[in-house]
Structure 1
C-alpha cells in the first residue's frame, strides 16, 4: 500500500471516529492587545491547609489555560493570614482597581463582602464564589459542596457510629458568621431529628484555627463528659494531634475534610469517618469557570456548581492521602 493510500485511510478513520486529524484551537474573545490575563483568588485564611490546596489547584489551572489561550494566565493570591471578612472586602476592592479580569472568593462572612463583590461586578469583573457562598451577591456561580447535604451526611454517619444506643452529640461549627457552616449545622440538625436516639447538646463555635478548635473541644468535653460523639462541620481540631490521645472509639468523631494531619485519626480509630472535600478543585474549578466566561463567553449550566464529598475511613485513608503530595506542593 503506498503512502498516499495510508494517509487517506488514516484521515477517513479519523473522520469516522470523530477525531480532527489537525485539531484547531478554539478562538477566544480576549482583546488582542491583552498581554496577561490576571485573576484574583481570595480564600478565607492562609493558615488553613485546605486553602493552600485551593491555591495550588488555581495555579495549575492557570498554567493549563496559558497553553490553551496562548497568553499567560496569572493568579493573584490575596488572602488574610487568619479569617477576616473585612480584609477580604478590601482585597476585592484592590484587585478590582488593579485591573484583574475576574475574581474567585471563599467568603468568611457573606454580609461583609457582598457589597464589594457587587461593586466588582458593576465594573465588569465577573466573580465566582467557592467553598463558602455569598448567595445574595451578583456572583455568577458558586462551586462547592451542597452544605445542607453535607451536614445531613455528617450527622447520618455520626448516628451510624453511635449505633442503636445513640447518645448525646456536640456539633463543632467554627465561625458563626460563615454561611457554608451555618447550612451544615442546619443539615446536621435536620438529620438528627430523624433519629430518636440522638440528642444534640449544643452547637459550639470558635475561631477557625486548629489550636482554638482543639481547645474548644477539650473544654466542652471536660465540662460535659456525657457527650458521646462530635459532629464537626469543619475539621479544625484534627489539624493538630491534640485529640489523638483520646481512647479510640470511646467518643465518636465524624468530621469534614481529610487533610494529612487528619488521616491518623481514622487510621487509629479515634475518628470514624472523614468527609473529604476536593480542596484542590476549589481553585482549579474556579479558574476554569472564570476563564470560560471571560475568554469564551460561556456561562455554567447551573449557577450552583456542586462538588462531591468523599468518605475517608481507615480502609482508604492511605490511598486518599496520596492526593496531598500534589495538592500541598510548594509553589
Structure 2
C-alpha cells in the first residue's frame, strides 16, 4: 500500500505539469487567432466570411466599358473578389456622384472610378477615403482629390501620337476632319490639344473641321455626313471619342469610302473594322491592362499595402498587322457583377 501511495505521489507533479503546459499553450494561441481574424486577407478568411467587394464606376454605359468589365472580372474571379459595377446611361456627373455615394453607403472594400469631371468628383472621392474606402482613378484622373492612384495613359501624349500617325499616313500634308465627344471633358480636350500641337509643329496638314457629338452616336453620324458633304476632298478622318469611332464604321461601309480613319481607344468592333479596312489605325491606351491593374491596386489598398500613385499604361498604335495582339472580348453581359 505504501509503495502504491508513493508511486501515485511521484506521478502527480508530472500530471499537473502537463495540464499547466496545455493551459498555457491555449492562452498563447487565442490572441493569435483573434489577430488573424482582424487581418483583411483572403488567406485568413473562412468560407463563411464575406468576400471582398470592389465598386467599378464608369462615366457612362457603353460597349467599351462592358469590355473593361469583362477584363476586370478575369482578374477578380480567381481571387474570390466580387464586382459592383455602375454607370450612368449617358455622361452625367450628378448620376455618377449619386452612384458613388451609393457605393460608400454600401461599404464596398474599394472603388475604381473613371470620373466624368475629376474636379467635381473630388469631394465624393475624399468622402470615400475618409470613410476608409480606398479609391483609385482609371482612364481619367482626379489629381486634386485624395485618390490613391491613377491608372491610364497621358492623353496629351496620346493626342501627339495621333498626330504622328496622321503625319505618316498623309506624308506630312493633307486635309483632315475631326470628331470628338465633349469640348470640356479633360481627356478628350487633352487628346485634341496634343494632336493639334503635333501637326502644327511638324506637318503641313490642314484641319478642315472639328465637331462635338455630346456623347451621341446619332449626332456623330450627322456630324460626319455634314463634314463629308462640306469637304468631299478630305484625306483622313480622326475620332477622338468612343461614339464617333463606331459611327465612322457605319458611314464608311455605307459610302464605300477608302479614306484613312484614325481612332483613339480600342473597342471590340474596331478590331474587325481594322481587318475590314474601315479603320486604318487605332491609338490604344493598352486598355487590356486596366482590369488587372485595377484589381491589383484595390486589393493592395484593401490590405493597407502601399500602391503606386501613377501607373502609366502608355499608348501604342494598332494596325491590321498588330491588332490581333489585342484580346478578343465578346459583347456579353457581365456575369459576376452585381
Please state which band the TM-score falls in when normalised by the shorter chain.
0.7 to 0.9
**Which residue pairs with 1:96 in the alignment?**
104
Q: Residue deviations 1:193-214, cap 9 Å, x none?
A: 2234112234321122433323
Aligned partners of 2:150 and 2:310 also within 8 Å: yes
What residue is the counterpart of 1:259 in the other structure? 267
Aligned mates of 2:92, 2:291 — CA distance in 1: 19
CA distance in 1, matches of 2:273, 2:332: 19
Number of the residue aligned with 2:278: 270
Shift, 1:327, TM fit: 8.0
Note if contact 1:148-1:183 (Cα within 8 Å) is conserved in structure 2.
yes
Partner SS, residue 245 of structure 2? helix
Query: Number of paired residues?
Result: 292
Structure 1's unaligned 5+ residue stretches are 1-26, 67-72
The 3-state SS of whatever aligns with 1:171 is strand
Q: 1:119 to 1:325 in 2, by over 3 A?
A: closer
Aligned pairs for 1:69-88 (under 5 A) are: 73-88=81-96
Quote the residue 1:324 is aligned against.
328
How far does the alpha carbon of each residue in 1:216-256 deviate from its partner, in whole angstroms, 9 at most, with x for none? Answer: 2222222333533222222423324422234443x321111
2:198 matched to 1:191?
Answer: yes
Query: Once the 2 structures are TM-superposed, how far is the Cα of residue 284 of structure 1 from its aligned partner?
Result: 2.9
- d(CA) in 2 for partners of 1:174 and 1:269? 24
How far the C-alpha of 1:153 sits from its partner, in A, is 0.6
CA distance, structure 2, for counterparts of residue 196 and residue 310 of structure 1: 21
Q: 1:292 offset after TM fit, Å?
A: 0.9
Alignment RMSD (CA, Å):
2.5
Larger radius of gyration: 2
**Alignment equivalent of 1:299, drawn from 286, 293, 307:** 307
Q: Relative to structure 1, is the Cα distance of residues 325 and 283 closer, same or farther in structure 2, using a 3 angstrom cutoff?
A: closer
Q: Distance in 2 between matches of 1:278 and 1:78?
A: 22
Tell me which residue corresponds to 1:30.
Answer: 40
State whether structure 2 residue 49 is matched by structure 1 residue 39.
no
- Go from structure 1 to structure 2 and tell me whether the alpha carbon gap of 1:202 and 1:140 turns closer, same or farther (over 3 Å shift): farther
- Name the residue aligned to 1:313: 319
Structure 2 residue ranges without an equivalent (≥5): 1-35
Q: SS at 2:278's partner residue?
A: coil
**1:232–1:256 CA contact under 8 A, matched in 2:** yes
Aligned equivalents of 1:260, 1:289: Cα separation in 2: 25
Give the 3-state SS of the residue equivalent to 1:143 in structure 2.
Answer: strand
1:152/1:184 contact within 8 Å kept: yes
- Aligned pair 1:212/2:212, yes or no? no
SS in 1 for 2:328: helix
Q: CA deviation at 1:43?
A: 0.9
Question: How far does residue 295 in structure 1 lie from its aligned partner after superposition?
Answer: 1.3
Shift in Å at residue 99 of structure 1?
Answer: 0.8
Q: Does 1:286 align with 2:301?
A: no
What's the counterpart of residue 24 of structure 2? none
Q: Determine if the alignment matches structure 1 residue 148 to structure 2 residue 156.
A: yes
How far 1:91 moved relative to its partner? 0.9
Q: Does structure 2 conserve the Cα–Cα contact (< 8 Å) formed by 1:102 and 1:127? A: yes
**8 Å Cα contact 1:83/1:108 also seen in 2:** yes
Structure-1 separation of matches of 2:281 and 2:232? 22
The whole-number CA distance in structure 1 between the counterparts of 2:304 and 2:135 is: 16
Q: CA deviation at 1:44?
A: 1.8
Q: Which of 232, 239, 245 matches 1:238?
A: 245
Q: 1:56 aligns with which of 65, 70, 77?
A: 70
Q: Is the 8 A contact 1:158 1:253 kept in 2?
A: no
Matched with 1:130 is 138
C-alpha separation in 2, matches of 1:37 and 1:50: 25
Taking structure 2 as the reference length, the TM-score comes to 0.78
Hey, what's the Cα distance between the residues in 2 that align with 1:320 and 1:242? 24
